[in-house]
């Protein structure tokens, strides 16, 4: 029996490389997964393989724009009607890493640029949590928000992203305090250098330099993030709540 046997989970941002790895891991551990993304055509192509390996009744994919509350409400409602309840929410949807924005100094940022990131990274996770929590109260459930090590420890780049991500730590703690007594747990994952095609393209010639920042002397893999998510969603973490878990090979030590 898997760690998540029978648990119904929602994964936003499921078309990203970390998202795909997470859906795979949750299915492998026995979960029923509703995977959402704006790139629903891509997810539909993946669904055939997932259904063949894990059973078509255990995986559903659909369109999800986390910045649109009506879409979020409908997506969550469909997942609840399908599974009866929601036991896990993984807020992986995030604003695309744009090298031009990532390397722009704080004082050169336009307000619109910051608000565009906030709309997805912060408001998106808030909206997903807002509409999922009522279905977790009493029955129990776990919410995982995705932050970054720059949001925890500061960094020389990524100002717009870090400001938005840092607010997710407060969201996680409020969820834990307000709903922990009603069976809801919440965590923030602070990710360091995780290798995907997007991150590699964003840093290019800095790749080796950034790998050397970590005591592990390498970039992390999406599958390693997915493994942490799987454990946090499980009952093995039942007496841990509101915490930040850093996944970066040891660069930031709390």
* DSSP string across 78-108: HHHHHHSS--EEEE-------HHHHTS-GGG
Q: What is the pLDDT of residue 213?
A: 84
Say if residue 160's pLDDT is above 90: yes
Nearest to 104 by CA among 213, 188, 112, 198: 112
Distance of alpha carbon 175 from alpha carbon 215, whole angstroms: 32
Distance of alpha carbon 98 from alpha carbon 44, whole angstroms: 26
Q: In sequence order, which residues have a C-beta less than 8 Å from that of residue 235 and are 6 or more positions away?
A: none
Query: Which CATH number covers residue 68?
Result: 3.40.50.720
Quick check: 109 and 118 in contact, CB under 8 A? no
Q: Residue 187 CB: number of other CB atoms within 10 A?
A: 23
For residue range 194-230, list pLDDT tens digits in order.
Answer: 988 788 776 777 888 888 888 999 988 999 999 999 9
Distances 149 to 89, 169, 201, 214, 239 between C-alpha atoms, Å = 21, 12, 19, 12, 24
What percent of the chain lies above the pLDDT cut of 90? 85
Quote the pTM value.
0.95
Domain that holds residue 68: 8-247
Dihedral of alpha carbons 138, 119, 162, 148, sign: positive
pLDDT tier for residue 245 given thresholds of 50, 70 and 90: very high
Q: What is the pLDDT of residue 199?
A: 80
Residue 254 lies in a domain: no
Distance of alpha carbon 37 from alpha carbon 170, whole angstroms: 25
For residue range 115-137, list pLDDT tens digits in order.
Answer: 999 999 999 999 999 999 999 99
Q: What is the mean pLDDT of residues 83-104?
A: 93
Nearest to 250 by CA among 220, 226, 230, 228: 220
Give the total number of structural domains in the chain.
Answer: 1
């Amino acid at each position: 029996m898997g760690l998540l046997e029978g648990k119904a989970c929602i994964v936003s941002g499921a078309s990203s490389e970390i998202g795909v790895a997470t859906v795979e891991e949750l299915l492998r551990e026995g979960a029923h997964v509703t995977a959402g993304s704006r790139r629903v055509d891509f997810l539909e192509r993946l669904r055939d393989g997932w259904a063949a390996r894990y059973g078509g009744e255990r995986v559903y994919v659909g369109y999800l724009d986390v910045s649109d509350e009506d879409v979020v409400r409908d997506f969550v409602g469909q997942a609840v009607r399908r599974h009866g309840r929601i036991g896990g929410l993984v807020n992986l949807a995030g604003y695309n890493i744009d090298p031009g924005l990532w390397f722009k100094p704080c004082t050169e940022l336009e307000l619109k640029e910051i608000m565009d990131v906030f709309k997805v990274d912060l408001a998106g996770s808030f909206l997903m949590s807002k509409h999922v929590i009522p279905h977790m109260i009493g029955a129990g459930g776990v919410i995982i928000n995705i932050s970054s090590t720059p949001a925890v420890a500061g960094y020389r780049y990524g100002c717009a992203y870090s400001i938005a991500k840092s607010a997710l730590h407060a969201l996680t703690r409020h969820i834990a305090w307000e709903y922990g007594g009603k069976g809801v747990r919440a965590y923030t994952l602070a990710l360091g250098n995780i290798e995907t095609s997007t991150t590699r393209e964003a840093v290019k010639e800095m790749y080796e330099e950034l790998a050397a920042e970590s005591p592990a002397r390498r970039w992390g893999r999406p599958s390693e993030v997915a493994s942490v998510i799987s454990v946090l969603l499980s009952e093995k973490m039942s007496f841990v709540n509101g915490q930040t878990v850093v996944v970066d090979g040891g660069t930031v030590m709390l």
